[in-house]
Structures are given as C-alpha cells and as structure tokens.
Structure 1
C-alpha cells in the first residue's frame, strides 16, 4: 500500500511539473518586417508566419498575417522559454507558380540580437525587399501551412 501511495505522489508531482513547463521561463519577443515582390511588383496576400524554433518539439507559432497591397508585412510575437527564443520567419507564396497546389516556402532566421525581454519587441528585424520570382536558397514546398 505504501508503494502505491509513493507512486501516486510521484505521478502527481510529475503531472504538475509537465503542465507547468509552458509557464516557467521568461517572456521574450521578436518582430520582423519586409516587402515582397513578384516579377518586380508588390506581392499581395502572401502568408507570413513568425515562429520560435524548438529542437525538442513542434515550433511555436508566435504571429501570422499576410502581405498587404504594397507587398509589405510586419509581425510581432512573444513566447515564454527557458533559454533565448530562436525566431524564424516563414513566407508561403505562389509567385510564378499559381498552377501548383503546394506553396513555395522560404524560411529566414531572425538574429538573436533582435530578441527582446518582455511581450513587445524593442526593435524589429527588417528582412528587406525580397523578390520571390526566382528560387531562393533553401526554398521548399509546403502543403499544410
């Protein structure tokens, strides 16, 4: 009986610890902005997502949106982590590729120097003007974004 009680206590402590993990750590934030072009013209309605890359589980989605009529976008998001977050921008588009079902996907790692303490980023990473017409290094396809 004593062994069963000990096992229940260990399981209870483990359960509390596992469910508390997302709230343990420090709140951090990042932001990114840029402009998207397709054949030299603003690319409207590209899906953009800001993630925190995690090596041990699924990446955390911090923010998402779409490029506007001028091809511009800006995202800001935050996440609570033990260590410094690893922000990444994913861009999903079909520039020069409208007939293919899966989107073209580009990922851009945001430097750690653009990670801020707290829920709102102190500075925004400028990804610049990206011409989506040609195939960019590391470009992949994504059907489930």
Structure 2
C-alpha cells in the first residue's frame, strides 16, 4: 500500500515537473501611413480566463519598423498567446496610445525553451487596423 502511494506521488511529481516550457516568437514590421513606425510598444501575453494575463515578452519596434519578440511560459495547458501593440500612429493629440490586440495561432507555439516555428505577421499598417484607446501604457 505504501509503495503504491510512493509510485502515485512520484508520477504526480513527474507530471508537474514535465509540464514544461512553451515558447512563441513573433516578428514583422510596423508602418504608419506607409512609413516605418519605430518606437511602438509590443507585448506578448498568455491570456488567462480566470486570472490575470501573464506577460511573456515586451519590446519596441526599431527605427525601421521591424520587431522580433520571443517569450516563454510554463503552463500545464497550452498557451493562449495574444500580441498587443501600443502606438500613436495617426493620433493628433498624444495623451493616450492606441492599442491593437490579436491572437497568435496555436500552431506557432513550440514546446521547449526555443521557438521552432516563428510567426511572421508581415507588415502591419497601423493606420488601417482596428484599435482602441489605452491610457495606461504611457512609457
């Protein structure tokens, strides 16, 4: 009986430890009215239903509009990744940022510490995508 309990606890421990890391990498280019848009804040999150989202990575677009972010999470279930872009493209009064959020397909999430299938969002024209106002991400 005690041996069975030890085996059971060992199996549980192994399953917890082996839940493992999942990694996502997203890259692309941002433009505003056809011009490269540098300085946009980009964040990758694991979207959680019942708790706060977990931030996986954060960065900014380069002067030429390009960005490349890789983030890693340790979840027992599949990561539910979304990318948020904060910018001021086409904004006349710079009090707040515009925010655009969209999901990253599951097929671009890799098991392990390195992303093996990066997601290329191509070129995103910020003046043309649906957005909302965000006054909390000011830096």
Shorter-chain TM-score category?
0.7 to 0.9
Would you say the 8 A contact 1:88–1:110 is kept in 2? yes
How much does 1:108 deviate? Answer: 1.7
Q: Which of 108, 111, 126 is equivalent to 2:120? A: 126
Q: How many corresponding residue pairs?
A: 122
The answer for the alignment partner of 1:65 in structure 2 is 59
Question: Cα deviations across residues 1-29 of structure 1 (Å, max 9, x unaligned)?
Answer: xxxxxxxxxxxxxxxxxxxxx97832111
How much does 1:100 deviate? Answer: 3.5
RMSD: 1.7
Question: Cα deviations across residues 34-85 of structure 1 (Å, max 9, x unaligned)?
Answer: 1000110000100001111111111111111000011000100100111100
Q: Which of 103, 106, 115 is equivalent to 1:112? A: 106
CA distance in 1, matches of 2:98, 2:53: 19
Q: Which of 20, 23, 26 is equivalent to 1:26? A: 20
CA distance in 2, matches of 1:86, 1:78: 12
CA distance in 1, matches of 2:43, 2:92: 20
Q: Is there any run of 5+ residues in structure 1 with no aligned partner, and where?
A: 1-21
Q: Is there any run of 5+ residues in structure 2 with no aligned partner, and where?
A: 1-15
The answer for the alignment partner of 2:8 in structure 1 is none
The answer for the alignment partner of 2:36 in structure 1 is 42
The answer for the alignment partner of 1:97 in structure 2 is 91
CA distance in 1, matches of 2:102, 2:123: 13
Q: Which of 127, 136, 139 is equivalent to 1:144? A: 136
- Report the TM-score when normalising by structure 1: 0.79
Question: Cα deviations across residues 92-113 of structure 1 (Å, max 9, x unaligned)?
Answer: 0000104141110011211000
- Report the TM-score when normalising by structure 2: 0.82
